[in-house]
Structure 1
Amino acid sequence: MSETLIDIVKVPDHPALSRWRAVAPHGSVVGVAGLRPAVVAGGDLLLLAAPAVKPGSAELSLSVAPGWRRRGIGSRLLATVREGAAGPCLVADVTDGSPGEAFCLRHGFRRIRSWRRELLGLGDVHGVWLREP
């Protein structure tokens, strides 16, 4: 299916957020994008980890359904988001080496910081927290 048949629609459901949907001709949502203010005060982890982010910046979230990727839908969503962004820059939190990182780098984003996140599996947490003496 051609990307030109996909409609990019603004979702006017929240005054503090900007959201868009990529809608296929049959009506299903095949991609979403959103902006939220990147808050400088209040312990926002993104800004603590990335001090180069300017006040007034917006955090980008963007996702395209796996079966619809590599068809230009993400690029169209991002272009629409950029038109609607009022701040000095967009910030995206992506996994190192992921397709999301490659997408962002192709579209002019630059890496400002990397960090490693450690996750415990449910079995590990259970064993630590619920161990009886």
Structure 2
Amino acid sequence: MEDLPHVPHWHRGRMVLVGDSAHATSPSSGQGASLAAESAVELARALRDLPHSQAFAAYERARRARVERVIAQAARTNSGKAAGAVGRVFRDALLPLFARLATPEKMAWQYDHRIHWDAAVAA
């Protein structure tokens, strides 16, 4: 699997990118549609509270760290899928241990994300 290039800016003038156009993630993350929906809600919040010139920048600030963390996690997952002969042996031997360590609490950052709609967006 290949990673898509990093998009340095998600907005210019009155144009803004949302979803995969701004932050495409690998299908192995299972987060593409979720990230797009989250971004749409965050953009709506920003546009509700700020003029578009400030709203677009606030939306990007609110989303970029989370999106890039999900993309990085997907890249780590993908790199384990193309292991060589020796790597496959280690991966298969250690996979049960990693599965036990991946508790719901440790994965909450990715799967239990909350957006507080009523909170005001700052410029």
Provide the TM-score with structure 2 as the length reference. Answer: 0.23
Larger RCO, structures 1/2 (Cα 8 Å, 6+ apart): 2
Q: Which has the higher strand share?
A: 1
Q: Which has the higher helix share?
A: 2
Provide the TM-score with structure 1 as the length reference. Answer: 0.22
